[in-house]
Chain A
Amino acid sequence: MAHKGQSGLVQTVLLKTITALENVSSLVIFIMMIITFVDVIGRYFFTAPIFGASEMISALLAITIFAGLGVTNARDDHIVVELFDGPIRRIAPRTYNIIVQVFSVFAMSLVAYVLFENAWEHHHQNARTFVLEFPLFIITGLVALLAIISVLSMISGIIVHVRKTSEAEHEAFE
Chain B
Amino acid sequence: MTTALIGFAVLLTLCFAGFRVGFATLIVGAAGFSLERGLGAGLAMTGQQIIEAGTNYNLSVIPLFILMGVFIYRSDISRDLYDAAQAGFGHFKGGLAMATVIACGGFSAVCGSTLATAATMSKVAMPQMKAFNYSDRLAAGTIAAGGTLGIMIPPSVPLVIYGIIAEQDIGLLFTAGILPGLMLVSLFLVAVMVSVRLDPTSAPPSGDLEPARKKEAIRRTLPVLLLFIFVLGGIYGGGFTATEASGIGAFGAAIIAITRGHLRNIAEWRRCLVEAATTTSKIFIVLFGAVVFTQFINLSGMPYDLLDFVDDTEMNAVQLVAFIALIALLMGMVFESIGIVVLLVPVFLPALAATDVNMIWFGIIIVLVTEIGLISPPIGMNAFVVKSVLPDVKLGDIFRGIGPYIVALFVGLLLVYFVPSIATLLPNLTR
Binding site for B on A (CB under 8 A): 22-23, 25-30, 32-37, 39-40, 44, 54-55, 57-62, 64-69, 71-72, 77-85, 88-89, 96, 100, 103-104, 106-108, 110-111, 113-115, 117-118, 139-140, 143
Flag if A36 contacts B336 (CB, 8 Å): no
Between A and B, 17 residue pairs with Cβ closer than 8 Å are A25-B281, A29-B276, A33-B250, A57-B243, A58-B60, A64-B280, A65-B284, A68-B281, A71-B281, A78-B20, A82-B18, A84-B18, A85-B18, A89-B18, A96-B18, A107-B20, A115-B47
B342-380 CB mask vs A (1 if < 8 Å, else 0) is: 000000000000000000000000000000000000110
Quick check: which of B50-58, B185-193, B302-310 contacts chain A, the rest being far away? B50-58
State which of A35, A39, A67 has its C-beta within 8 Å of the C-beta of B277.
Answer: A67
Flag if B57 contacts A115 (CB, 8 Å): no
State which of A34, A39, A85 has its C-beta within 8 Å of the C-beta of B17.
Answer: A85
B430 to nearest A CB, angstroms? 18
B27 to nearest A CB, angstroms? 5
Binding site for A on B (CB under 8 A): 14-24, 26-27, 30, 43-44, 46-48, 50-51, 54-57, 59-60, 63-64, 67, 239-240, 243-244, 246-248, 250-251, 254, 269-270, 273-274, 276-282, 284-286, 288, 334-336, 338-339, 378-379
In the assembly, what is the distance between CA of A32 and CA of B55, in Å? Answer: 13
State which of A25, A62, A104 has its C-beta within 8 Å of the C-beta of B274.
Answer: A25
Known: A36-B248, A37-B250. 11 other contacts (CB 8 A): A33-B251, A59-B55, A64-B281, A67-B281, A71-B277, A81-B18, A84-B17, A100-B20, A114-B47, A118-B47, A140-B51
Flag if A115 contacts B50 (CB, 8 Å): yes
A62 to nearest B CB, angstroms? 4
Flag if B57 contacts A58 (CB, 8 Å): yes
State which of A29, A78, A83 has its C-beta within 8 Å of the C-beta of B273.
Answer: A29
In the assembly, what is the distance between CA of A69 and CA of B26, in Å? Answer: 15
Flag if A68 contacts B240 (CB, 8 Å): no
Residues of A within 8 A of B21 (CB): 78-81
B402 to nearest A CB, angstroms? 18
Given A61-B60, A114-B43, A118-B47, A79 contacting B20 (CB threshold 8 A): yes
